[in-house]
């Protein structure tokens, strides 16, 4: 099971932390950062320029928003067709110690 938390700042920068869990064990952590921008009302471009605090890329990914509410966002990665669901959390969110495995 994997989880991520992302912060997109008003100045067009972003930071994201990815975690992969196996039961209660974190098996991988990766940090990414860079810039984001809206291409139109429903399409966001993410340009990754840092991985694990080192310069990298740049890599460009475009996403189309499918659904956007106060609680949840569903979006599709245009290059692969993979659909993601992200839930909004408050500023004090911390990753759980365990995630269920599927």
Per-residue pLDDT of the chain (102 residues; tens, 9 = 90+): 888 999 999 999 999 999 998 888 899 999 999 999 999 999 999 999 999 999 999 999 999 999 999 999 999 999 999 999 999 998 888 887 776 655
31: containing domain = 2-87
Cα(64)–Cα(45) distance, integer angstroms: 9
In a domain, 96, yes or no: no
pTM: 0.86
In a domain, 61, yes or no: yes
Q: Which pLDDT score, from 0 to 100, does residue 101 have?
A: 57
- Residue 92 domain-assigned? no
Three-state secondary structure call for residue 34: strand
Q: In what order do the strands lie in the sheet with 54-68?
A: 2-8, 13-22, 25-40, 43-51, 54-68, 72-77, 83-87
Domain presence at residue 100: no
Domain annotation covers residue 25:
yes
Query: Looking at residue 62, what is its pLDDT?
Result: 98
Domain-located, residue 101? no
Give the total number of structural domains in the chain: 1
Instruction: Classify residue 97: in a domain, yes or no.
Output: no
> Is 94 within a domain?
no
């Amino acid at each position: 099971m994997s989880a991520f938390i992302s912060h997109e700042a008003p100045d067009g920068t972003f930071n994201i932390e990815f975690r992969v869990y196996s039961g209660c064990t974190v098996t991988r952590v990766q940090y990414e950062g860079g810039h984001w921008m809206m291409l139109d009302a429903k399409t966001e471009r993410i340009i990754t320029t840092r991985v694990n605090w080192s310069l990298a890329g740049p890599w460009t990914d475009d996403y189309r928003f499918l659904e956007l509410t106060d609680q949840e966002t569903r979006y599709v990665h245009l290059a692969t067709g993979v659909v993601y669901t992200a839930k909004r959390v408050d500023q004090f969110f911390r990753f759980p110690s365990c995630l269920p495995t599927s």
